[in-house]
Structures are given as structure tokens and as C-alpha cells.
Structure 1
Amino acid sequence: MYKQINTWVEAFSSAVWGFPLLILLTGGGLYLLILSRFLPFRYFKHAIDVLKGKYDNELDEGDITHFQALTTALSSTIGMGNIAGVAVAIAVGGPGAVFWMWISAIIGMSTKFFTSSLAIMFRGKDSEGKTQGGPMYFIVEGLGKSWKPLAVFFSLCGLIGALPVFNVNQLTQAINDIVLIPNGFEVNFTSNLIIGLVLVVITSVVILGGLNRISKVTSKLVPSMVILYFVLVFFILIVNIESVPYYFKLIFTDAFTASFIKEDALFGGVVGTLIILGIRRGAFSNEAGIGTAPLAHGAAKTNQPVREGLVAMMGPAIDTLVVCTLTALAILVTGVWKTTDANGVSLTASAFSNAMPIYGKYLLMACIAVFSISSLFSYAYYGGKCLSFLIGAKHQHYYNYFYILSIIIGATTSLSLMINLIDGVFALMAIPTMTATLLLAPKVMKEVKRYVKTIQ
């Protein structure tokens, strides 16, 4: 019976993350990019000024700064998707998959601009009268009370989709494969339980302090780890400098030939299959259109929706165009993608060990640990906001206890049933988010025209 249910849930997850969702995310994002006349790129410098605090006003409504909102959102997107996900894309699709991840990020920048602008435009009040932002609020406030079932659907999916079982499971596996097993430690239930308990302690200290503590911690952790990761990959590129031009060019040429793909061709042939693989991995990495980022950006201290949208659009640029590209180049120039059958995080670890034989994999493990643990903080906040919307703000803290229990489950079991369920439900969050965003996009463009006049 369990095997049958597991098969159904696995099929459900694959179907949800399939072609229709990619059409919704990429097609919808492309429409928004054209509708905005490529605004994310035209105002990129202005977005940096906003991020630096040039336009901050302490009297504006909200709880956290633009920078804290961005790092809180990034803490959930920079993680296994950028390190293990890119490795999977290259192992299965070859270098060309990276190009289509870039395309996904460029489109995703536009999506994040619109969804996070809406999170400020249509903020609502929770049961305690406190201002809140996010897809569930801009659905109700922007589209009207008759659309509340869509907001409830988003929140219900968010309760499950935000659970950290997959992330914790992968982090535990990485610790086992990179640190414990190579050093002769026995990996069993007890060792996994210890990892889980350590994660519980770290996560509890942060998430029980609320959004302000989460944002303060992530605003310090995320930038420092991105910089460390950049330095490490830059070293790998220097060591293999003669290979960099070849592989950078190969990313572009292989995107249209799919010479290295290992999957069976779907409709559209091998190139079509490669496009789907790259865009899917990109969407999974930056989460543009899923609706998680607006939950963080909706708490930003600003009365100008467009400003927060411009800050939010930098998310896909950082997590996919920068971090994913760094991972990809490290894997490609070291050649490990051709000489080993390793996949996921093990392939990335092989690349780091190749260039830095003694310390490489441990430095990578440090980055993985911080990226993954910081994502635990933000997802706890997202799930709590969803519960607050459903049953009231005074009950929001109950989600934290459920969340902490799921960390133990993720560390000590490999329940593919639960991981597939969470993965599939997480993807379902895109349906209400993108539906509302596409319907409300013209209102965002009116706000854009008004805002642009104020800065010219």
C-alpha cells in the first residue's frame, strides 16, 4: 500500500513540476517582461541605490529594510538548488543546460519585480491588525474578497511547501558524504539524529525571535557566504584558467545542439528537452513566481511598491546568474562532469576537491551548511505567515513547533513520499501567485508610470 501511495505522490510531483507549470512560469514571466518593456534592466542602477538605503525612510510602513528583505528572500533560494541542482542539470543535460537556466533567471527577474511590487501595493491586515504582505494578501486586497479561496489555497500549500524535510535531508546527506564517511565515521540513525538536533537548536534560536531576528541573521550570513563562494570558485577558475574560455563558449553552443544530454528526447527533440531541463532547474533555483519572495518583501519598510519590486528582481540575478554560474563553471573547468558518475552535491564536491585536494570539499561544505541553514530560517517565517492568514496571528507560533519536528524527520529518514509531496505542493503555490500577478499586472504598470515621474 505504501509503495502504491509513494508511486502516486511521485507521479503527482513530476506532473506538477512538468511542462504546464513551466509554461505558466516562463510564459507568464516573458509576458510580464515585455509588458514592463524590460524595466528590470533599465532601472538596475536605481535598484542598487534603493538597496543601499538611499531612499530609506524610517517613517514608512513595514518591519525590515530593503536589504534585509532581499537577504531574507535570498536565504531561501540560495541553497541546494544552486549547488546540487546545477550539478544535476549538467550531469543530465550537459553545459547547455546552464544557458537555459540563465534565460529562466532573466525572465524570473521580471516575475519577482511584479509579485513583490504587488506585495507592497496590496498589503493587508492580519487578525491582530498588523500590516502584512504576500500573495494571499494581494489576492484578496487586489482582486477582491470573492478571490479568497485562491488565497486560502496558496496558504494551505505554503504550510506544506515550506517544510524543510527535503533541504534537511539533502544537508544531512552532504555532511555524511563529504565529512563523516570519508573520515571513517559510522553513519547511522544516531549520527543523523545528532545532526538533526544541532539544526533544531540553531533554527530554534533564530526563528523563535521572529522576523527581525531572522532578517538580521540572514543579512549577515548570506552576503558573507556568497562572497566566500565567489572567492573559492574564482580560485578554481584561476587554477584551470586555460579551460575557462572553451567552456564558457560551450555553454552557448551546446544550448542549441544538446550534444551531451543523457535524457530521452521529448517533444521538441533533444534541444527541447534541454530547454525544459534548464528552465525547470532555473525555476527551482530562484523560485520566481512561486510566491515565497513576496512574503519577505511584503514586510519591507517602504511606501513605494516599485522600489521593493526593483530590489526583489535582483534575487534571480544573484542566486541564478551569479551563484549557479559559479557552480557550473567550477564543475565544467575541472572536467569532473565527464570523469565521474557522481551527481548532485557529490559532483560539486568532486570539482572542489579536484582544484583544492585537501580543503576544497570542506570549504564547500561550509558554504552548503550556511546556505541550507539560512533557508531554514526564512521558510519557517513563510509557513508561519500562511498559518496566520488561515487561523489567526495569535496561533502563528504553533507552526514553529511543527516545523522543528519536521527537521528531525528530514535528518533521520529518507521518506521519498514526504519529500515528493512537499516538492509537488510547493510548485502548486505558483498557480495562485501567477494567476493573481497576471491579472493585477496592469495596476503595477500604472504604479510604475507614477513612480518613474518622481525620480526623473
Structure 2
Amino acid sequence: MEKLIEAFANYAWGLHLVILLIGGGLYLLVLSRFLPFRHLGLAFDVLRGKYDDPNNPGEISHFKALSTALASTIGMGNIAGVAVAISVGGPGAMFWMWVSAIVGMATKFFTCTLAVMYRGKDSNGELQGGPMYFIVEGLGQSWKPLAVMFSVFGMVGALPVVNVNQLTQAINDIVLIPNGVEVGLRSNLILAAVLVTVTAVIILGGLKRISNAASKLVPSMVLLYFMLVILVLVSNYHSVPKYIIMIFTDAFSAEFYKGDSFFGGVLGALILLGIRRGAFSNEAGIGTAPMAHGAAKTNEPVHEGLVAMLGPVIDTLVVCTLTALAILVTGVWETTSNNGVSLTAAAFSYVMPNYGSYLLMVCVFVFSVSSLFSYSYYGTKCLSFLIGADKKHYYNYFYILSIIVAAVSPFSAMLNLIDGVFALMAIPTMLATIKLAPRVTVQIKTYFKNTV
């Protein structure tokens, strides 16, 4: 099964997807006349509420929409995803993650502008946004098969399998094994039972107090994670310039790449790895973020696109870069065989031997548990589109079952599963976005003519 999932992910992430994500993103960047770089200041003004109107349609503020989208990306994508990229591809993988993020800014702008431009209504008559809605509302019923394709694979892509798997690995490697506890199927099932109980209380019991508490903890954990990474970098400040240079040089030499070649070369394989890990980190072009931003309280689509394009900046250009440098400057990427969250934990332990990995464990736990709630929101939205809003709660049972599977499965299988499904979500999202892009440029011209 693990080999089948790996083959599926590798097939899904072929040249066609690189062209669609990066080529499509470059097309959107040029079409918008490099808008993401020209209006960063305006994006922050919108984010802080300068243009908010409580009477606008929608459910949540711009800030909450961005927070919801980031809640599902900041965490395992930055901690485990970057570690995978470095352990397989070496320093150069980070450069191609940057490329993915820079191009992804334009992609996020267009997809999330469309999510507000073409909001639809679910079977309960409530306003909804996301790729499945802008495909049908923007392109018509003849394009509905693409919307169905997105929703079907979106239900799998929203499963928290990587988060749960890495949380289990972190508890085993950081807490249980060092304290002499034997780990295996039994201990993993016990951890899964605890996570299932917590998740069931949150998403089945509807206890908003718990999810609100988790959402308040996340900013604190982000701040703690930042402080820990900065401490690692300051402790090894003399190595930072060396590895920053190496990120650029190794991006084109692929000297440290350990995986299979792509189109006969290791450089092509390194580029593919960086783009794949970048997509896992910031989800630009995948289609999850438009579901969150489509719920924003606004009647100005361009506002939401501007806010959304900040996601890859915060997520990949800032947080992922800090994680990558922490792993590189401590040398653990060359001295250990660890992968995923365990590699990041090794970097923290190198600088803070007695408590570093435990502090990372706290961050990982809060990131993972809080994201369990946000991911279920995406999955229920997809099922709601397919069979009706009154039946969307059935997704939660499938969601809970996946937690048990993830806790006892190999990390590579879970990561490859989500990679492959993300690829299949990106196809309808990007095709529809490219097709509708000229309408977004009309909206941009109207907005800047009348508003700014």
C-alpha cells in the first residue's frame, strides 16, 4: 500500500503539474502586472481593518479569514515539510520553495479574489466561497465536473493525516522513547484514542469554547516557535551567511539531493521537490485557502485577494526559511538520519539540549490539535457541495477514522497521500483560475480606478 501511494503521488506530481502551478502562476503574475509586489502596503491596510464595513456580506473579518487559512498551513508544513525538503534535497530545496511562494502570491491573489467574486449558496441558502463555487458560478454548469473533482479530492486533502502522524512521531521521539517507554502499535493506538476523543468533542460536540481557546493559543505558539528558532540562529550566527549562500548555489547544482532523478536529472528533481514542499507549506493553487477567504465579510473581491496573497509571504518566505536555517546551521541535516518533525527537534536539542525538543513538542501539539478543527471545516464544505449542507456532518465520522489510520501509518505514506491529492485538487483550481483570470484583471482596473 505504501508503494502504491508513493507511485500515485509521483504520477500526480509530474511535469504537467509543475507547468500548471508555476507556469500558471507566472502567467497570473504577469497578467496582474506584478500586483502582489506593488501593493503589499495596501494589503496590510486591508488586513488591519482600514476598509472594513460590518454591513458587508460574509461571515468573518479579513484577519480571521487569513488566520483560518494560515492555521492549516503554519505548523506541520513549516516544521515537518521543510525538514523533509532539506533531508532529501539539501539546502537548495529551500530556494525552489521560495520560487513556489513568490509565484504563489499571484495565485493566491487570483483564487481568493474569485472566491469572493463568485460566491454561491449551499442547499441551506447560505453564502459560500471556494473553487467549487467559483467554477460553477463563474464558468457555468457545463464546468461542474471540475467542481465535483475538486470537492471529492478536497475531502481527502482536508484529512489531518500528516498532522496526526507527525504529532504521534513527536510524542514518541521526544517524550516516550527518551523516558524508556516502549513505542509501537499499542502506544500509537492509545495516542490515536486520545486525539479521537479530543477531536470528537470539538467537531461533534460543537464546543466552540475549546476551539476558541485553541485559536487563542496558536498566536502564542507561533511567537514561541519564532523565539526558539531565532535563539538557534543567534547561537550559530557565524554559520548563517554560509548557508544562505548555499541555498542559492545548491539550488542549481543539486549537490546534496538524495532522491530519484526527474526527466533524467537531479536538478529537475530538486526543483520538483521544492515546488511540491512549497505547495504543501503554503497551499497556493491547491484551493483550500479560497474556502476560508470566500467566507470573509466583504463586498470587494480585490480586498480579499490582497489579504490572501500575504499567506505565502508569512508562511513560506518567513517561517519556512527560519526553520530551514535552524536545521542547516546546526548541521543535524548531515549528522542524523531523522526526518520530518524529528529532524527539527534534533536542531532544537543541539542548541538547547535539556529542554529544546520539549518546547518544540508544545508548539507541535498546539499546532496539530488546533488545526484538527480547521481542516474539518474544509472537508465538510466539500461534502456539503456534493450532497447538501444537511448531510455535511457525515464527513466528521470519516475524518475521525482517518486519525486512527494516520497514527499507525508510516510518515512517507501519509505525506505522499496528501501530496497526491493536493495535486488533483490543484488541477481544477488552476484551470478555472486561468480561464477566469481576465475577469479578475477587469475587477482590478475598476477597483484601482474608483477606490484607490
Shared fold (TM-score greater than 0.5)? yes
The counterpart of 1:401, out of the listed 393, 397, 403, is 397
Structure 2 segments unaligned to the other structure (5+ residues): none
User: For the residues of structure 2 that align with 1:15 and 1:397, how far apart are their CA atoms?
Assistant: 32
1:326 CA drift (Å): 0.9
Q: Deviation string for 1:225-247 (max 9, x for gaps)?
A: 22211111111111111111111
User: For the residues of structure 2 that align with 1:121 and 1:181, how far apart are their CA atoms?
Assistant: 52
Aligned: 1:430 with 2:426: yes
Q: Which residue of 2 aligns with 1:353?
A: 349
Q: Which residue of 2 aligns with 1:16?
A: 12
Distance 1:218 1:72, change over 3 A: farther
Q: Deviation string for 1:234-268 (max 9, x for gaps)?
A: 11111111111111122122222222222344337
Mapping for residues 156-305 of structure 1, pairs under 5 Å: 156-208=152-204, 216=212, 219-267=215-263, 269-305=265-301
Q: Which residue of 2 aligns with 1:310?
A: 306
Q: Which residue of 1 aligns with 2:365?
A: 369
SS of aligned partner of 2:445:
helix
Q: Deviation string for 1:132-172 (max 9, x for gaps)?
A: 00000000000011111111111111122212233312221
User: For the residues of structure 2 that align with 1:270 and 1:82, how far apart are their CA atoms?
Assistant: 24
User: For the residues of structure 1 that align with 2:184 and 2:333, how far apart are their CA atoms?
Assistant: 29
Q: Which residue of 1 aligns with 2:323?
A: 327
1:120 CA drift (Å): 0.4
User: For the residues of structure 2 that align with 1:298 and 1:206, how far apart are their CA atoms?
Assistant: 23
Cα contact 1:158–1:382 (8 A) shared by 2:
yes
User: For the residues of structure 2 that align with 1:98 and 1:82, how far apart are their CA atoms?
Assistant: 11
1:411 CA drift (Å): 2.0
Q: Which residue of 2 aligns with 1:123?
A: 119
The counterpart of 1:387, out of the listed 361, 383, 387, is 383
Cα contact 2:165–2:411 (8 A) shared by 1:
no
SS of aligned partner of 2:252:
coil
Mapping for residues 100-139 of structure 1, pairs under 5 Å: 100-139=96-135
Letter in 2 for 1:447: Q
State the TM-score, normalizing by the size of structure 1: 0.93
1:347 CA drift (Å): 1.5
1:214 CA drift (Å): 9.1
SS of aligned partner of 1:260:
coil
Distance 1:274 1:354, change over 3 A: same
Cα contact 2:60–2:295 (8 A) shared by 1:
yes
Q: What is the RMSD of the two structures over their aligned residues, measured on CA atoms?
A: 2.2
User: For the residues of structure 2 that align with 1:442 and 1:166, how far apart are their CA atoms?
Assistant: 36
Letter in 1 for 2:57: E
User: For the residues of structure 1 that align with 2:43 and 2:205, how far apart are their CA atoms?
Assistant: 29
Q: Deviation string for 1:400-425 (max 9, x for gaps)?
A: 12212221232244497776545422
Letter in 1 for 2:361: M
Cα contact 1:22–1:279 (8 A) shared by 2:
yes
Q: Which 10-residue stretch deviates more, 119-128 or 91-100?
A: 91-100
Letter in 2 for 1:335: G
1:209 CA drift (Å): 7.1
User: For the residues of structure 1 that align with 2:285 and 2:268, how far apart are their CA atoms?
Assistant: 22
SS of aligned partner of 1:187:
coil
User: For the residues of structure 2 that align with 1:231 and 1:349, how far apart are their CA atoms?
Assistant: 15
State the TM-score, normalizing by the size of structure 2: 0.94
Aligned: 1:447 with 2:436: no
Cα contact 2:214–2:366 (8 A) shared by 1:
no
Aligned residues: 452
Structure 1 segments unaligned to the other structure (5+ residues): none
Letter in 1 for 2:105: M
User: For the residues of structure 2 that align with 1:300 and 1:217, how far apart are their CA atoms?
Assistant: 21
Letter in 1 for 2:347: A
Distance 1:399 1:428, change over 3 A: same
SS of aligned partner of 2:72:
helix
Q: Which residue of 1 aligns with 2:42?
A: 46
Q: Which residue of 2 aligns with 1:33?
A: 29
Distance 1:420 1:326, change over 3 A: closer
Letter in 2 for 1:437: T
Q: Which residue of 1 aligns with 2:91?
A: 95
Cα contact 1:100–1:279 (8 A) shared by 2:
yes
Query: Quick one: percent identity of the two aligned structures?
Result: 71
SS of aligned partner of 2:253:
coil
Distance 1:216 1:440, change over 3 A: farther
SS of aligned partner of 1:77:
coil
Distance 1:66 1:366, change over 3 A: same
Letter in 2 for 1:410: A
User: For the residues of structure 2 that align with 1:297 and 1:125, how far apart are their CA atoms?
Assistant: 15
Cα contact 1:164–1:407 (8 A) shared by 2:
yes
Cα contact 1:207–1:213 (8 A) shared by 2:
no
User: For the residues of structure 2 that align with 1:342 and 1:54, how far apart are their CA atoms?
Assistant: 46
Letter in 2 for 1:355: V
Q: Deviation string for 1:198-239 (max 9, x for gaps)?
A: 322333343347798798556534332222111111111111
User: For the residues of structure 1 that align with 2:414 and 2:221, how far apart are their CA atoms?
Assistant: 30
1:369 CA drift (Å): 1.7
Q: Which 10-residue stretch deviates more, 81-90 or 129-138?
A: 81-90
User: For the residues of structure 1 that align with 2:210 and 2:148, how far apart are their CA atoms?
Assistant: 25
Letter in 1 for 2:95: F
Q: Which 10-residue stretch deviates more, 263-272 or 207-216?
A: 207-216
Cα contact 1:29–1:108 (8 A) shared by 2:
yes
Q: Which residue of 1 aligns with 2:151?
A: 155
User: For the residues of structure 2 that align with 1:240 and 1:421, how far apart are their CA atoms?
Assistant: 36
